[in-house]
Amino acid sequence: MTAGFELDGSVQLAASLSESALRTGGLCDRMDREYRLRDRAAQATRTIPFVMNIPIVSSAGSLNPAPNCGPDTGYYWSIRQISAIGFTAGQVTIYVDSTAGQPIWTQTGSAVGIYVSDYGKSHKPIHPNSNLAVNCTGITSANNQVIIYGDADQVESWLWPWYLGTVE
């Protein structure tokens, strides 16, 4: 009777240990996947600076669209900062894709001559294969150009829902 109990107990103990090992292995696999995802996500975002020099002729100028001022296929941009210098009168407007497109930033000149706008995460999104375009009108400029500087978070498309905070 004692031998049967010990046998029963050891079989039960072995089954319990085997089940615990399976659970632990599954937990380790999930932790490994989470680590790989976090590591990939850390490499999937970066800050991209951009500069646009708009030549001013007869108080106006445009870049429609501005070359190399937008995300490539597979990436989104989130504009974080835009600043402009070089004009004291007139208006500078930045659009998405064309000067007939969606305006995302407008600045009217003043005596200060330096204009800066900061944005939070995903406030000014730019979709893959889109470009910024600029139109300047009524510009008074000492050096016949308006220079626009900016920074954008560049995010791989697969990470965009996490960047927006819609997925945890």
Q: How many domains does the chain have?
A: 2
CA atoms within 13 A on the CB side of 100: 0
Cβ atoms of 59 and 109 closer than 8 Å: no
Predicted TM-score (pTM) of this structure? 0.75
62 by DSSP, 3-state: which?
A: strand
Q: Which domain holds residue 8?
A: 1-43
Lowest mean pLDDT among 20-29, 138-147, 155-164: 20-29
Label residue 25 by pLDDT band (50, 70, 90).
low
The pLDDT value given to residue 9: 53
CATH for 119: 2.60.120.1330
Q: Token digits for 68?
A: 């190399």
Are 60 and 126 in the same domain? yes
Output the six-digit token pair for 144.
Answer: 């016949």
Span 52-58, average pLDDT:
94
* Mean pLDDT value across residues 132-159: 93
Question: Based on the domain organization, do 23 and 71 belong to the same domain?
Answer: no
| In a shared domain, residues 69 and 125 | yes
In the predicted structure, residue 132 carries a pLDDT above the cut 70: yes
Cβ-contact 147, 53 below 8 angstroms: yes
Domain identity same for 39 and 83: no
User: Residue 4 has what pLDDT?
Assistant: 45
CA angle 48, 50, 55 (to 5 degrees): 175
Angle, CA 103 vertex, CA 74 and CA 147 arms, to 5°: 85
Q: What is the dihedral of CA 105, 110, 114, 120, to 10 degrees?
A: -30
State yes or no: pLDDT of 148 exceeds 90: yes
Are 24 and 74 members of one domain?
no
Report the range of poorest mean pLDDT among 25-29, 60-64, 73-77. Answer: 25-29
pLDDT at 138 over 50: yes
What was the pLDDT predicted at 8? 52
Cα–Cα distance measured from residue 154 to residue 46, given in angstroms and rounded to the nearest whole number: 5
Give CA separation, 131 vs 22, 50, 135, 166, 167, in Å.
Answer: 51, 11, 13, 25, 27
Per-residue confidence (pLDDT) for residue 92, from 0 to 100: 95
Confidence of residue 126 (pLDDT cuts 50, 70, 90): very high
Among the residue ranges 7-16, 59-68, 70-79, 88-97, the one predicted with the least confidence is 7-16
Residues 62 and 140 in one domain: yes
pLDDT value of position 75: 96
